[in-house]
Each structure stands twice: as C-alpha cells, then as structure tokens.
Structure 1
C-alpha cells in the first residue's frame, strides 16, 4: 500500500509538471496569431526553459530518490501533511549559499524547530550525495 501511494504521488507530480509545460506553450504573446515573431516571441521560447524543471537531471534524480524513500509520508509538494510542503521549503531556502549541504544534513540527522515543534525523522541510511540530490529536487520546486 505504501509503495502504491508513493508511486501515485510521483506520477501526480510528474503529470502536474507536464501540464504546466503545455499551459506555458499556449501563451504565444501575439494574440493568437501564431507567427512566432513580434514582442512575445522571445518570451515564449524562453519560458519553458525556466518553468519546466522536470527535464533537469537534478529534478529527475531527486524525484526518484524521494519516491523510493518515506519522505512522502510527511511531505507533499504543495500541501501540508505533517511537515511543510516542498514548495514552502523551496521558497524559504532556494538560492541561499551552502543550503544544499545544510538541508542534506538535516535530512540525514533529523531535527526540529525550523517548522514548528514536530521533529523530522532522521534518515541515517541515506548517503550525503543522495540527500543532496533530494534537496536539489525540492529546491527546484520553487520555480513552479
């Protein structure tokens, strides 16, 4: 049952990301003329690169690792369960120097106090590299 839930959450995440990509492709910026020229043309070709993080190797690796772990028991991408949603974590920490290592250590060793009184369970079985990959995935969710 737990594996099914994790698989469904991963599929829903991937599906929602692909829907965001198609919505941004519909915005031509030229009032539907579809010529690909004019003021909105450059924005249209650049938008998917900045909003579609699902093709980023860090995103793919981190998503796979999160899907194989118990993270989705307490966290979801956009809604609070036990811990904060990944998008709130990304909004708070993305772009801060050295944050990936710091958060990876928090994932491995656990902790409490940053998001309320409920402690985060330690995950000592994770390697530092895997924890960093998971953190990179989470931080990429700020862009969505």
Structure 2
C-alpha cells in the first residue's frame, strides 16, 4: 500500500511539473501577452479554448496550425498573429496543454 501511494505521489509531482513546464513555455513564447488560463485578455482564455474544442478530434491539428500561422474570426475581429518562433514540437506541446485546461 505504501508503495502504491509513493507511486501516485510521484506521478502527481511529475504531471504538475509538466503543466508548469508548459505554462513556462507559453510565457517564453509570448503567448501570455495575449492569453491567460482563466480570463480573456486580447485573445480568449485557455479554459474557454479547451471548452470550445472539447470532443473535437481535429482540434489539436487545427490549433497547432493556428499557433504557427495565425488566424482570425473564430473569437472575434482581433486576429492572432503567426508565431514563427514556435517550432512544431513546441506548438504541439502548447496546444495539448491548452486543451487540457478545465
């Protein structure tokens, strides 16, 4: 039993570390200049993005493309600029993190 609790505790620390790392990546790539996890800034809150795309099997690919190339019209008139400083792996990591927000 003690061993199981230890494994669960380690898994929790590792998963929260991954979430923190993704938030740090979002800050490093300037995503947080226009977005926040729980409130609209210039762009939508990440929790709202996750809710909008919940259950959409194509969401990850669509959002990776949007992170890389930018877009407009989904959340209003303010366009999201392209982010050439974000590579494919980082875009995937960021999108997976955004979609995991509750």
Q: Give the TM-score normalised by the residue count of structure 1.
A: 0.56
Indicate conservation of the 8 Å contact 1:78/1:87, yes or no: yes
Q: Distance in 2 between matches of 1:136 and 1:120?
A: 18
**CA distance in structure 1 between the partners assigned to 2:81 and 2:31 by the alignment:** 9
Q: Between Structure 1 and Structure 2, how many residues are aligned?
A: 90
State how far apart, in whole Å, the 2-side matches of 1:57 and 1:137 are.
12
Of the three residues 94, 98, 101, the one matched with 2:54 is: 94
Q: Quick one: distance in 2 between partners of 1:56 and 1:105?
A: 26
TM-score, normalised on structure 2? 0.78
Could you tell me which runs of 5 or more consecutive residues in structure 1 were left unpaired when the two chains were aligned: 1-51
* Equivalent residue in structure 1 for 2:24, among 64, 69, 78: 64
Secondary structure in 1 matching 2:101:
helix
Structure label with greater radius of gyration: 1
1:136 aligns with 2:84: no
8 Å CA contact 1:66, 1:72 repeated in 2: yes
